[in-house]
Structure 1
Amino acid sequence: MELFYYAVFGGLAAVVAALELSKTNKDRINTSTAFNSFKNNYLVVYSLMMAGDWLQGPYVYYLYTTYGFGKGEIGQLFIAGFGSSMLFGTIVGSLADKQGRKRACVTYCITYILSCITKHSSQYKVLMLGRILGGIATSLLFSAFESWLVAEHFKRNFDQQWLSLTFSKAIFFGNGLVAIISGLFGNLLVDTFSLGPVSPFDAAACFLAVGMAIILSSWSENYGDPSENKDLLAQFKGAAVAIASDEKIALLGAIQSLFEGSMYTFVFLWTPALSPNDEDIPHGFIFATFMLASMLGSSIASRLLARNSPKVESYMQIVFVISSASLMLPIVTSFLVAPLKLKGGGISFSGCLQVLGFCTFEACVGIFWPSIMKMRSQYVPEEARSTIMNFFRIPLNMFVCIVLYNVDAFPITVMFGMCSIFLFVASILQRRLSAIADKPKTEDRAMMKDKDAEGEPLNVM
């Protein structure tokens, strides 16, 4: 493997270690023993859930090819997964508000375990069923667990600022460290032990089963709206009204869809971008490097969220601009660096520059997740939290399905340009959200000045 990969990985690891070890009291949040116990329990469960998800990701496409399916059929399977998340996942995820978030989390485990079991079959219909189940599980993963956490956090009367600590740690471990370990563990099962491409799915099912046991034994149930006279259609209508009537919620949903849509598109684009001439690149090691960059971002986010200034609404504007610029790099290098005509070989100079840009984007992803969770906890109403969060994923899943269907229709540079534009639009919307969030404080100051000018009497003891 080329020295460049080790240098980037080692440099990121050193920076992450330095950030974590150099934290001062200003960068830490003082909490209670009860909260730490609650937080650690959630982090263990969330890490197990993410391990079940990360173990599968690198081997889904490869497993389908070993069963003899072509690119078109595999594309249809992937579209089925995102389509299922958009349609069935939205319904199942929304039931969490009424039927209970703990039940929804257990449903995630059962659904994803069943999806893993279907991978043992080479029948197209069975694999399609697995993708549908996986799509439902994905919706639950990104809504039910966060909804349970937020409701349980406030039910136990913990300080609101402590919630950001759980968010940042969950992303640091679940989307960073666990992702790296899962990639290495999956590689051990498939390549070292030669257990076959289905073995990571069996391991994922085991981790999910352990997590489900912890949920059943240690989590209490909480609800959004437990009223018996409110059906699913009424829940959808109430969520739609909440989004339409509150500009902050609508802006938050648009920002999330734009960023996550770009992020999922990036997942499909980074491999052909780094190896346009079939260059020999270590996909697993590059993936681990990206996850390390995401850990760097979550470490930065934990420092930012621990302080009252700058506010999350303010610094996220900068994050979106940086992420937009980083995805413009493939377009810039295509003009400034002469393309190589040779097939094969090592990574090109252009590819090296793009790796650095993609690591920057992944660092922005690491900052994005705990920050968007923090904003959702502030703006999304508790009684319809899961329903609204799944509403946010509808345009995201629709966008990814369109991209997958037309992935060969446009050059890679066009796709990256589109993502860059989306991220820049997200920064504009974030600026608007920040202005609205600050507006009440501005109005309060104006009212206080008016009262002072009118000479209202002061209460003197």
Structure 2
Amino acid sequence: MELFYLIVFGALGVIVATLELSKNNKDRINTSSAFNSFKNNYLLVYSLMMAGDWLQGPYVYYLYTTYGFGKGDIGQLFIAGFGSSMLFGTIVGSLADKHGRKRASITYCVTYILSCITKHSPEYRILMIGRILGGIATSLLFSSFESWLVAEHNKRGFEQQWLSLTFSKAVFLGNGLVAILAGLLGNLLVGTLALGPVAPFDAASCFLAIGMAIIISSWTENYGDPTESKDLLTQFRGAAAAIASDEKIALLGAIQSLFEGSMYTFVFLWTPALSPNGEDIPHGFIFSIFMLSSMLGSSFASRLMARASVRVESYMQIVFLVSSAALFLPVVTSFLVAPSTVKGGSISFSGCIQLLGFCVFEACVGLFWPSIMKMRSQYIPEEARSTIMNFFRIPLNIFVCIVLYNVDAFPISFMFGMCAFFLFVASMLQRRLLGAAERSGPLDKVREVEAEPLNA
């Protein structure tokens, strides 16, 4: 079955390369040299930030086991990370809007580096502090950088459509190519060089430090609240009022929570789904296959968003339906394919089918990220962008914590069925969002009018 992994990886690689090399003028957006310089600077920083994040992911659980902690203790550590992201997310998001997104991005680097340093200690309390710091850093990663980009893009007077180019390239590089390279580097450090399970965290600290130096030297500051007079409570109320008063923002938040909740649940479930009887599967190589699938999705997204006639709100309905069907596949195979009772060995036939379905889901993830970024740039008001984006993460983190706490209480097929249902609901909400957007008119035109004085 090792040949199966190579065939899947090779086929995906050929498709991605063909898509990228076959782009014509309709698939590309003509931009200025000033924008290209700005975009490349952001992509470099974003790739370094994501390298720091991806290097850690595959080795967190493994590191805790080498310190002698059991599944229960490790589960509590993971819950602490998601819980801190939920509790502190809105606070750090509001601080970013008030005191500056550049400062918040630097804070992300410092916080995550400190989290990496705690991994050198086998003390449970120190590791718990590290997870809390990591949760805070995650909230900053998924709000401050995007908020800085959107504000700076608009402040410099670049065309609104060019923003989608930066989003798609960021996902293609940061969530695809960098993830694959980070996995290979981590395997080199831990496996080939035998530097121990802490080595990837030290390497992550180095990438984060380099990125922080670039931010300090080349980024300008921007803010969400131009008056800088609102306290945190006022910002919370303003963000909550914006969500409650605009159906599009509320729908966007619900859609994001449903999809990302299913995505993070999938992260915990794919390993036991592919190796229910302790099958010997190459986790690192499968991770690379998933990331290549994500690159495929982001490549499709860049083509779609390059066409002004194609609406993100329209094609995302199909993306959510396809992702729902992909995660429902383990439920189908549990009924149609007889379960294997052989312990160990290579991946089973049902595992091969599920792996292909998981690749489809990861391709949908690659489509989701730049598309949701595009919609957030259209619908979320600038003055409270980071605050609102972290509000969206509250139900997401609650959902993931509940799943982690009850992961042994339900069969895997039930968990996948639940995720598939959530994704189907997301598709229905996306349809409603499309209707609401059509009734209110295209916001891109509004933003273009607002940007005219900057272009003059």
Query: Which residue in 1 is equivalent to 2:449?
Result: none
Query: Which residue in 2 is equivalent to 1:436?
Result: 436
Describe the superposition over 1:216-239 as per-residue Cα deviations: whole angstroms up to 9, x where unpaired.
000000000042431000000000
More deviation, 224-233/423-432: 224-233
Q: Counterpart of 1:327 in 2: which secondary structure?
A: helix
Contact kept in structure 1, 2:105 and 2:144, CA below 8 Å = yes
Change beyond 3 A, Cα 1:441–1:208: closer
Describe the superposition over 1:150-202 as per-residue Cα deviations: whole angstroms up to 9, x where unpaired.
00000000000000000000000000000000000000000100000000000
Query: Which residue in 1 is equivalent to 2:107?
Result: 107
Q: State the superposition RMSD in angstroms.
A: 0.8
Query: Which residue in 1 is equivalent to 2:223?
Result: 223
User: Partner amino acid for 2:63?
Assistant: L
For residues 348 and 110 of structure 1, the distance between their equivalents in structure 2, rounded to whole angstroms, comes to 44
Describe the superposition over 1:60-118 as per-residue Cα deviations: whole angstroms up to 9, x where unpaired.
00000000000000000000000000001321122100000000000000000000000
Contact kept in structure 1, 2:89 and 2:391, CA below 8 Å = no
Pairing of 1:177-326 with structure 2 (within 5 A): 177-326=177-326
Describe the superposition over 1:319-376 as per-residue Cα deviations: whole angstroms up to 9, x where unpaired.
0000000000001011111111110010111000000000000000000000000000
For residues 115 and 346 of structure 1, the distance between their equivalents in structure 2, rounded to whole angstroms, comes to 36
Query: Which residue in 1 is equivalent to 2:120?
Result: 120
Contact kept in structure 1, 2:172 and 2:299, CA below 8 Å = yes
Q: Counterpart of 2:344 in 1: which secondary structure?
A: coil
CA offset at residue 441 of structure 1?
Answer: 4.7
For residues 205 and 245 of structure 1, the distance between their equivalents in structure 2, rounded to whole angstroms, comes to 42
Structure 2, gaps ≥5 residues long:
443-456
**Structure with max Cα Rg:** 1
CA offset at residue 253 of structure 1?
Answer: 0.2
Contact kept in structure 1, 2:9 and 2:289, CA below 8 Å = yes
More deviation, 223-232/280-289: 223-232
Equivalenced residue count is 442
For residues 440 and 200 of structure 1, the distance between their equivalents in structure 2, rounded to whole angstroms, comes to 48
Query: Which residue in 2 is equivalent to 1:399?
Result: 399
CA offset at residue 308 of structure 1?
Answer: 1.6
Q: Are 1:63 and 2:63 an aligned pair? A: yes
Q: Counterpart of 2:316 in 1: which secondary structure?
A: helix
User: Partner amino acid for 1:154?
Assistant: N
Query: Which residue in 2 is equivalent to 1:51?
Result: 51
Contact kept in structure 2, 1:97 and 1:226, CA below 8 Å = no
For residues 228 and 326 of structure 1, the distance between their equivalents in structure 2, rounded to whole angstroms, comes to 46
Structure 1, gaps ≥5 residues long:
443-461
CA offset at residue 299 of structure 1?
Answer: 0.1
Change beyond 3 A, Cα 1:336–1:35: same
CA offset at residue 402 of structure 1?
Answer: 0.4
User: Partner amino acid for 2:231?
Assistant: D
Q: Counterpart of 1:121 in 2: which secondary structure?
A: coil
Contact kept in structure 2, 1:99 and 1:226, CA below 8 Å = no
User: Partner amino acid for 1:106?
Assistant: I
User: Partner amino acid for 1:202?
Assistant: D
Q: Are 1:378 and 2:378 an aligned pair? A: yes
User: Partner amino acid for 1:125?
Assistant: R
User: Partner amino acid for 1:279?
Assistant: E
For residues 440 and 240 of structure 2, the distance between their equivalents in structure 1, rounded to whole angstroms, comes to 24
Query: Which residue in 1 is equivalent to 2:77?
Result: 77
Describe the superposition over 1:392-435 as per-residue Cα deviations: whole angstroms up to 9, x where unpaired.
00000000000000000000000000000000000000000001
Deviating above 4 A after TM superposition, structure 1's stretches of 4 or more consecutive aligned residues are none
Q: How many percent of aligned residue pairs carry the same amino acid?
A: 82
Instruction: Give the alignment's TM-score, normalised by structure 1.
Output: 0.95
Contact kept in structure 1, 2:115 and 2:133, CA below 8 Å = yes
